[in-house]
Structure 1
Amino acid sequence: MNKQICKFSYRREWLLIVFTVLLVQPAKAQDIPKLNNRLSALAKTSIQVKPPQVNKKIRQLSELEPFVTSAKMLLVQSPTPPNTPQTEVVQVTAVKANPTDKGVEVILQTSKGEQLQITNRSAGNNFIADIPNAQLRLPSGDTFTFRSTKPIAGVTEITVTNFDANTIRVTVTGEGSVPTVELFDSPNEGIIFSVATATSQARTQQPPQTQPTPSQQKPESQTQPKPSINSDQPIELVVTGEQDGYRVPDATTATKTNTPVRDIPQSIQVIPQQVIKDQGITRISDALRNVSGVTKEGSYGDATDVYRIRGFVTYDTLRNGFRIQDPVINPASLERIEVLKGPASVLYGQFEPGGIVNYVTKQPLDYPYYSGEFTVGSYDYYRPSIDISGPLTADKKLLYRLNTAYESAGNFVDFVNSQTFSIAPVLTYKFSENTKLTFEYEYSKLERVFNDGLPPLPIVFQLPINRFLLEPDINDGFTEESNNINLTLDHRFSENLQLRTGFAAYFQNFGIGSQYLRPGDLGVDGRTLSRGLITDGSGDYLSYNLQTDLIGKFNTGSIKHQVLLGFDWSYYDYKTAPYTSYVATPIDIFNPVYGSPQPKTELEFSNNYTTKRDTFGIYLQDQIVLLPNLKLLLGGRVDFINQRILTQDLDGQGNPINDQKTDASYNTPFTPRVGVVYQPIEPISLYFSYSESFNPSTSRTADGSALPPELGTQYEVGVKAELIKDRLSATFAAYDITKENVATTDPNNTDFSIAAGEVKSRGLEFDISGQILPGWNVIASLFHNDAFVSKDNTLPVGDSLVNAPGIGGSLWTSYEIQNGDWKGLGFGGGVFYTGDREAELPNTFKIPSYVRADASIFYKRDHWRVGLNFKNLTSTRYYDSQGYFLRPGAPLTVLGTVSFEF
């Protein structure tokens, strides 16, 4: 690109500075000597005048203390006076790198480049430029990072990243000295950083023949000759655009605002799409093995994904911040997974105190994007998927994205197979730069042989892991369908005031027309297992959610505030259709004989059960910057909950036996949160937080009244550190959680409950993720947890909670060759460890601990990628738990994947 440098004479510069200073503020006595020194330096500088060109050079940035070339820069370099109005935060929507005859240019694409105020400095061999009123934002709103490794001779790395919520940082690292960087602005492209090669630096930085004036002298390190570059070698760029490697610097789940993880006084881990792809994740719950304190918890018929976090099981999760229950998740439609540890009720209402999982989906792009993938593997597994996106109109106001996948899979367990299908279209219409409307829809359907697994008995560890204890001719009709609809409006009144409102509807139907068996108790002979036959065991779940958030930024003196004022309304309706359960023919677990079971005539159980809940919540949050290194988070929420439980007993033909009974309850819990972050040095964040949670109870007392909500409190302290700047980060957390009002048996009437129970969870967690060296990524975790019963009328105090391991950890690392003939070839490997866990309450026996090893190999070339993933390399025998049933993990499994994108 041909760029002309527009320069000004010192006389015009002198007049412009004086004029600007007089307009902006009266000159103070202490400022006059500084101004005279700057003007004297300018007077000694010979600067040529050239006609203006299309691209304007802003200034020379390669010097440690650059002289001022405009009044605007003089003001930028001066400290910002208190109470100065905040300027608009400019959105940089893309970063590109192009080779030039001098080296390489990095372009920050924006239509508002003239509004950017840039300051720079040198640190060691690093040239650092900060843009304090800008953010890297994709058209979808997601953040991203640019990274170029060894692009030219003399430069080891160029990175462009969001340093904090309002600053972009550009870092150019030289091999032996500070590199030469020039800055231009272009009305058609944005801001351009021009980085010279070592040859260009040596040529342009040779000292003149005559003695230079003091203002023209360069630091000695910048006048040293540099090695030349072979012009025949192509420039190789490694750029992370939409993906951010293994490290994601920002998250939204903890505060409902895009906040750097280092500024959040609570533990939060993010699993990006790159980890899901590298590990060959086909079931999303496997991705959560990378997070400390999270254990996979089985669900009804092993149909959906449920988690136990810090010892507490949660059946509810979030999808883009909206509550959903027992979802079937397509990994290909996810941009990332955010796991917030500890209570989240201050923003999301009723949740368990252990934490929540938020699935963040992919959003439309403003450029054409096409991706396809096909995976085949062990046990007759195959899965095609597509991901396409782009603009639908020439003005790029209407954007779309479509993700769809189909999966057909056998299983290592005899007679078990499944089929799933999902499709997720997204449309975004941009009314203007400040207003957009997004519509999302996702349909999922699962058909699976119903398999609860094995009963929690020590004897089951003697059975082969492929043992099926139900009936192959009957357990083949379990179906689950879900429809998820989201409509979200974002409007920015100004840079300091934003409105976000959204509506979500979720419909789920399971067990449609199903008939299946479930395992029961083991007989006294130690080998005969009773079974129950369930017919018409279907259910419906629907929920509506409305959320509105108003986000404002303002200052009170030198203190900065980002205030979130919001309210949400939700309606929840869970209904089980009338079903019957008969005692069926038992089976020998060591020598099973299959055939149509003969159900006995007596009815075991049948009823009609519905739970309805209306919740209205209002919440307020303030993110306060007291000092640049001291941040405070305050928040509180009040909920108004109206819950109704409707029950009616039916006979075997579905006829009512008695009148419908309604148990109603009304609660208004208040949940606060307070946290503080102190950053003694830039890479380190020390934090403390206190937060509370609540969850309505469905248990009843002897007089028929509902128990009060379960209340949770957590104290957490921790350290967050950037071990390698902008590449590798870690979190260490210590927590203490107490959950009260837990239902326990009423000692005066054992058929009912009282809220006298209590459980505790205490532990330590460590998580690390990011890039160690170019191409070498890592994500790892380690935790210790003690979750136990602290008060109860029937359970022994001190008993550990079910499926809550005392210790666990994970390590996954991958490396991709960056240069040479083998560029694009990569390898990955890791181990996942889960300590032993209690299988039931009261504690009678443990589920054994295990270590599972995985590996991968892949090759990327141009737009194509092929890979092999090996899971459970050593065929380790291990078990996951539903809390009651045990499910063996798969032995060695191999998956092969071919994908493309352009």
Structure 2
Amino acid sequence: MPDPSRMPFPVSRPSSRLVLATGTSLFVLALTANAQEPTELDELVVKSGSGGVITAEGYVGTASATGAKVDTPFLETPQSISSVTKAQLEDRNPQTLLETLSYTPGTRIGAYGFDPRFDSFTVRGFDVTYSGIFRDNLRQPGAGSSLFKTEPYGLEGVSILRGPSSALYGASGAGGLYNLITKRPTADALNEVQIQYGTHARTQGQFDFSGPLDEEEAVLYRMTGLLRSADTQQISVDDDRAYIAPAITWKPDEDTTLTILGEYSRTKTGGTAAYYYDAANNEVTDYFAGNPAFNDSVQHQGRIGYEFEHRLNEVFTFRQNARFSSLNTDADWAFAYAPNATDPRLIDRSAGTFDERLNAGVIDTQIEAKFDTGPLDHTLLAGIDYTQLRYNSLNGNGTSPPLDLDDPDRGDPVDEIPFQIKVRQDQSQIGTYVQDQIRYDAWTLTLGGRYDWVDTTTRSTDLATDAVTRTEQSDRAFSGRIGLTYQFENGIAPYASYSTAFSPNAGVSQETGQPFNPTKSEQEEIGVKVLLPDSNTLLTASVFNIDQKDGLYYEVVDLPTGPANIQVQRGKLRSRGFELEAVTSLDNGLSLTAAYSYTHMKIIEGPETTIGNFVSSVPLHTASVYADYTLQADGAWSGLGFGGGVRFIGSSYGNDENTLKNGTRALVDAAIHYDFAALDPKYDGLRLQVNATNLFDRRDPVCSAGFCYRDQGRTVIGSLKYSW
């Protein structure tokens, strides 16, 4: 019996047919921009490129280093790119990475319902949980249940590059990558303390201090931290966290910068978070599927890294970014899976325990050259990066006393479960890359290529017999990108691009006994970006086609030992669709972000019963809008503001056989905030804010890969912040 509570997330699969209506959408956006008098584009002043830091005003990001590894205006990036800015984070006060990303186009969160253990989500239909999370432009790897947890309060923002992006970043998935940008030291003094209280006894205190340490402002610091005690909507599933993130910047001269970034956190939650799913009747019950007496999961994680940049002369700039990160997860779980054969009041439960450790070192060294060749301006980037990963896992399986439907919240002791399997996996990846951004007049041609070498060794030991299985695999791959952009003086920038990606797959197929091949993908994309003159508004639209080959997914296969739900590799997935996004922050106190995505994702090759079907839990239509408005008034009313948003998730199938259906849903979020300086200047810096997520408490069932969960319910959090 496979354990859905620990099962790695299934890899999704794609679709056919391009929607002709997209052309109309692009035309409408162009007309909107042309309705104003053509004016010269304001020059974008771009900061240091380390880590992908976003240049933004309010909700509107205009440049970052995520799309090209060097600071590049979004209008010149030949690929779909979005950002979650500092202002958006402050207004929405997200408590998880999933909430942080919930209003970005193409992003599907909640496919696995309520689950605070992992940040699992897809973009353009493809899972990015293991292959698409980057931190400060460096890969943040994951394996098994070892996934780094993200504290949104420690983020300056998120920069999102959609579509295959291996030409610069190496191993990554078909959907794209999410670059999480850490808070950095500031030249201006920043002091902030905050307390929060919310539903499920959520209590949190946090602080953020930054500024110069010397009169010359050559050394800057930042210290961010929080302490939280919280329950959740599920019995015995906590959401406790202690978090501290120190950072320091040394800038001895105008040409040299060194920033050191650190973090440590301890998070306690549940080993199981799901509700009992009655598969025979296709019903998600209100019963907790785990065992409250055997359900602790504690994760310790830390990272330390640096970003170094030195401008050698007018042409060359040298950069080196590096990070070492480590985590340890120790968890117990139980899972109710089927009615007892003799007593209908009882549901049989399996149980298990695991101890996982993941260490990862990443270093990226690059040289940037800016020069001219006749009428052509070049920004040439060449680099080499290296990733070393070590994953250790101890795992044991057993049984738990059954779930008693007459007393479902009761916790029952579980006999000690010894570890049975030990796994050690070492993976090294080295990649070399080169990219040239060639500008001629209003044209920008982006050419990039990369070659990667990946070696993986896996050693599995049966602790009962000391039998050892060892496998080795070597993957080699070339990735490329070519893109062309044209920038009109009135702010319209159409583009077209072709890009590829690959992702090595660790492990061995239980069906064939052979290592998995890398998953490869390619994308064609056309679109337009419109930066409306004099209005701080960015409009984007894109049409894409992504083909993925040799993806991994779960399937019940007849093995010599009997049927088993295992990872298999075969097939081809196709995702086609289009996306629209509008982001603005106006002088009248209104900020808004809106998005619409059409994702037509089908299985082109795969199991016979799934060919031509839609991929499970990938909605055809998703849309969202969030707005925040501060009253433009005199006196006490000037401190009052409101925010609200709606996230629409269209219907989808709950399995790849397309025999289960997820209904549509619209989730409403809301906020209200007040700055007390409007009452009296002596209260300057004091702000009260209340945020509600899923205001109407919709907790509908949602199914993915044939297993069903329940949406996360309403949360309300009040915060009182004082900054000076």
TM-score interval, normalised by the smaller of the two chains: 0.7 to 0.9
CA contact (8 A) 2:487 2:493 kept: yes
TM-score (norm 2): 0.85
Quick one: which of 592, 598, 603 aligns to 2:408? Answer: 592
CA contact (8 A) 2:458 2:470 kept: yes
Q: Report deviation, 1:398.
A: 1.2
Q: Report deviation, 1:457.
A: 5.1
Q: Deviations over 1:34-82 (max 9, x none)?
A: xxxxxxxxxxxxxxxxxxxxxxxxxxxxxxxxxxxxxxxxxxxxxxxxx
Equivalent residue number for residue 98 of structure 2: 285
CA contact (8 A) 1:544 1:570 kept: yes
Quick one: which of 839, 844, 856 aligns to 2:671? Answer: 856
Equivalent residue number for residue 264 of structure 2: 443
Q: Secondary structure at the match of 2:571?
A: strand
Quick one: which of 482, 485, 498 aligns to 1:674? Answer: 482
Structure 1's unaligned 5+ residue stretches are 1-123, 146-242
Identical-residue share of aligned pairs (%): 25
Q: Higher strand proportion, which one?
A: 2
Matched, 1:364 2:364: no
Quick one: which of 684, 689, 692 aligns to 2:497? Answer: 689
Equivalent residue number for residue 83 of structure 1: none
Q: Report deviation, 1:139.
A: 12
Residues 126 and 700 of structure 1, relative CA distance in 2, 3 Å threshold: closer
Q: With CA pairs under 8 Å and 6+ residues apart, which has the higher RCO, 1 or 2? A: 2
CA contact (8 A) 1:712 1:740 kept: yes
CA contact (8 A) 1:455 1:884 kept: no
Residues 735 and 125 of structure 1, relative CA distance in 2, 3 Å threshold: closer
Residues 662 and 125 of structure 1, relative CA distance in 2, 3 Å threshold: closer
1:75-224 pair list within 5 angstroms? 135=45, 137=47
CA contact (8 A) 1:452 1:885 kept: no
CA contact (8 A) 2:52 2:181 kept: no
Equivalent residue number for residue 564 of structure 1: 381
Quick one: which of 323, 333, 339 aligns to 2:154? Answer: 333
Quick one: which of 700, 722, 726 aligns to 2:531? Answer: 722
Quick one: which of 241, 244, 249 aligns to 1:428? Answer: 249
Letter in 2 for 1:427: I
Q: Report deviation, 1:530.
A: 2.9
Q: Deviations over 1:718-746 (max 9, x none)?
A: 11112453511111111111111235889
CA contact (8 A) 1:139 1:365 kept: no
Q: Report deviation, 1:515.
A: 3.0
TM-score (norm 1): 0.69
Equivalent residue number for residue 534 of structure 1: 352
Q: Secondary structure at the match of 2:275?
A: coil
Distance in structure 2 (CA, Å) of the matches to 1:612 and 1:632:
38
Letter in 2 for 1:673: R
Matched, 1:894 2:716: yes
CA contact (8 A) 1:498 1:551 kept: yes
Q: Deviations over 1:275-305 (max 9, x none)?
A: 1221121122112111111112559963231
Distance in structure 1 (CA, Å) of the matches to 2:709 and 2:568:
33
Distance in structure 1 (CA, Å) of the matches to 2:545 and 2:40:
42
Quick one: which of 622, 631, 646 aligns to 2:459? Answer: 646
Distance in structure 2 (CA, Å) of the matches to 1:880 and 1:521:
19
CA contact (8 A) 2:656 2:705 kept: no
1:344-355 pair list within 5 angstroms? 344-355=165-176
Matched, 1:759 2:573: yes
Equivalent residue number for residue 72 of structure 2: 259
Matched, 1:829 2:658: no
Distance in structure 2 (CA, Å) of the matches to 1:567 and 1:483:
25
Q: Secondary structure at the match of 1:857?
A: strand
Q: Secondary structure at the match of 2:402?
A: strand
Letter in 2 for 1:481: H
Letter in 1 for 2:352: I
Distance in structure 2 (CA, Å) of the matches to 1:128 and 1:140:
31
Q: Report deviation, 1:865.
A: 1.2
CA contact (8 A) 2:615 2:656 kept: yes
Equivalent residue number for residue 469 of structure 1: 289
Residues 551 and 456 of structure 1, relative CA distance in 2, 3 Å threshold: farther
Matched, 1:798 2:617: no
Distance in structure 2 (CA, Å) of the matches to 1:756 and 1:380:
47
Letter in 2 for 1:827: F
CA contact (8 A) 1:298 1:305 kept: no
Equivalent residue number for residue 491 of structure 1: 310
Aligned-pair RMSD on alpha carbons?
3.2
Equivalent residue number for residue 548 of structure 2: 739
Distance in structure 2 (CA, Å) of the matches to 1:397 and 1:342:
39
Q: Deviations over 1:504-544 (max 9, x none)?
A: 11101001xx4331343456899854321213x11011111
Equivalent residue number for residue 809 of structure 1: 623
Matched, 1:707 2:516: yes
CA contact (8 A) 1:434 1:493 kept: yes
Q: Deviations over 1:105-138 (max 9, x none)?
A: xxxxxxxxxxxxxxxxxxx999999997x93649
CA contact (8 A) 1:454 1:460 kept: no
Q: Report deviation, 1:395.
A: 1.7
Quick one: which of 116, 123, 130 aligns to 1:302? Answer: 116
CA contact (8 A) 1:569 1:614 kept: yes
Q: Report deviation, 1:609.
A: 1.7
Matched, 1:554 2:371: yes
Matched, 1:248 2:61: yes
Letter in 2 for 1:568: D
Q: Secondary structure at the match of 2:229?
A: strand
Q: Secondary structure at the match of 2:167?
A: helix
Distance in structure 2 (CA, Å) of the matches to 1:782 and 1:894:
26
Residues 529 and 688 of structure 1, relative CA distance in 2, 3 Å threshold: farther
Matched, 1:874 2:696: yes
Letter in 1 for 2:227: Y
Residues 626 and 569 of structure 1, relative CA distance in 2, 3 Å threshold: same
Q: Report deviation, 1:878.
A: 3.1
Q: Report deviation, 1:413.
A: 2.0
CA contact (8 A) 2:50 2:65 kept: no
Equivalent residue number for residue 787 of structure 1: 601
CA contact (8 A) 1:534 1:582 kept: yes
CA contact (8 A) 1:140 1:365 kept: no
Residues 300 and 614 of structure 1, relative CA distance in 2, 3 Å threshold: farther
Residues 722 and 367 of structure 1, relative CA distance in 2, 3 Å threshold: closer
Distance in structure 2 (CA, Å) of the matches to 1:409 and 1:585:
27
Residues 484 and 522 of structure 1, relative CA distance in 2, 3 Å threshold: farther
Equivalent residue number for residue 452 of structure 1: 273
Equivalent residue number for residue 584 of structure 2: 770
Quick one: which of 662, 673, 677 aligns to 2:470? Answer: 662
Letter in 1 for 2:57: D
Distance in structure 2 (CA, Å) of the matches to 1:394 and 1:823:
36
Distance in structure 2 (CA, Å) of the matches to 1:144 and 1:691:
23
State how many pairs are aligned: 668
Quick one: which of 327, 336, 355 aligns to 1:508? Answer: 327
Q: Deviations over 1:591-613 (max 9, x none)?
A: 62624256699x9x931222211
Distance in structure 2 (CA, Å) of the matches to 1:456 and 1:806:
25
Greater CA deviation, 420-429 or 306-315?
A: 306-315
CA contact (8 A) 1:638 1:671 kept: yes
Q: Secondary structure at the match of 1:823?
A: helix
Q: Secondary structure at the match of 2:75?
A: helix
Distance in structure 1 (CA, Å) of the matches to 2:540 and 2:37:
26
Distance in structure 2 (CA, Å) of the matches to 1:384 and 1:518:
34
Residues 128 and 746 of structure 1, relative CA distance in 2, 3 Å threshold: closer
Q: Report deviation, 1:748.
A: 11
Equivalent residue number for residue 54 of structure 1: none
Equivalent residue number for residue 298 of structure 2: 479
CA contact (8 A) 2:290 2:334 kept: yes
Q: Report deviation, 1:757.
A: 1.3
Q: Deviations over 1:803-847 (max 9, x none)?
A: 322211111001112341122211111111112233334333123
Equivalent residue number for residue 843 of structure 1: 658
Q: Secondary structure at the match of 1:594?
A: coil
Letter in 2 for 1:670: F
Distance in structure 2 (CA, Å) of the matches to 1:484 and 1:600:
33
Matched, 1:415 2:233: no
Quick one: which of 589, 607, 617 aligns to 2:431? Answer: 617
Distance in structure 2 (CA, Å) of the matches to 1:598 and 1:292:
44
